[in-house]
Amino acid sequence: MNRSRWSELVSDNPMLIEITRFRRRFLSFSGSSQVNNGVLALTLVCYAGLVLIVFNGRGEIPPIALVIFQAGVLALFAPAMMHGAIAGERERRSWDLLLVAPISKSQLVIGKFIGALAAMGVAVALCFFPILIAAVTYNNTNWWDLVLAEGVSIAFATLVCALTLFYSSRTSRSFTALGGALGTLGVTLILVPVILSVILQADPKLLAFTTLIQPFYALAELYSSSERYSYRPIEALVPRVWWGVPQIAVYFLLSLVLLALTVHGLNDADQAPATPGGRNDA
């Protein structure tokens, strides 16, 4: 990406105002609905409880176990935060204003995405504190495996953000986008592994390689490797080098693909013929 393109999409993108919008909506008690304020208050109480548990159990809690917990929280937080990014604009009738604004579809999508990443960054930073407490006090901390696990967690959260934004761009209802994102996660993280385990149970090595894209398998393998367990989740049939870096690279690559598909879909929608009511179907 050349400097002018980077400036257009990132540094000088007017849609970076989304960072402020996400912060006010999800990370502030001012400017949010009562429901959002209640959820934020409950989240802060749960976070304080988590910090106290980790502090009281310091030296006994493996830090990668907390990273696995973080990955699960972020996988649910991302769809809840992103499902209305574009579909919500259509519901509020503000999408037409964005279409006539002097911004490109790429700027719009990247601005929404960066705004979500900024909010996710705050969540990761909050999770980092108890993870650091556990890592410093735990006697068997493998710092390289911990870095890889954190990278897998962040990369997968980035992919979920891009996936939810893609669904949000393809529908005019926020809850449809939320259902699509959560349904996809449920199928890929739960249903597909169960089906493959039944079909491929006679070939454990092939079954092991089919789990490479599953983030929680990768995190479990990093956890077992760090703890030096004699039993590994998939019987150590996949070489150690395949856990960590490959998942991070694949998740970031898939995120870029989904962002490109989102922009392409919005451009195609603008070129679609209008309905008799004067609006296109998007």
Instruction: Name which of 170, 143, 124 is nearest 282 in CA terms.
Output: 170
Give the per-residue SS3 of 25-94: HHCCCCCCCHHHHHHHHHHHHHHHHHHHHHHHCCCCCCHHHHHHHHHHHHHHHHHHHHCCCCHHHHHCCC
Domain-wise residue ranges, the chain: 3-269
Tokens of 233: 């989740």
Work out the number of other CB atoms within 10 angstroms of the CB of residue 279. Answer: 10
Per residue of the chain (282 residues), give pLDDT as tens.
566 777 777 777 778 787 777 777 666 665 556 656 676 777 788 888 989 999 998 888 999 999 999 999 999 989 988 898 899 989 988 888 888 888 888 989 999 999 889 888 888 998 999 999 999 999 888 899 999 999 999 999 999 999 999 999 999 899 999 999 999 999 999 888 888 878 877 676 777 777 788 899 889 888 887 665 544 545 456 777 888 899 999 999 999 999 999 999 988 765 544 444 444 443
| Beta strand residue intervals within 54-190, DSSP E | none
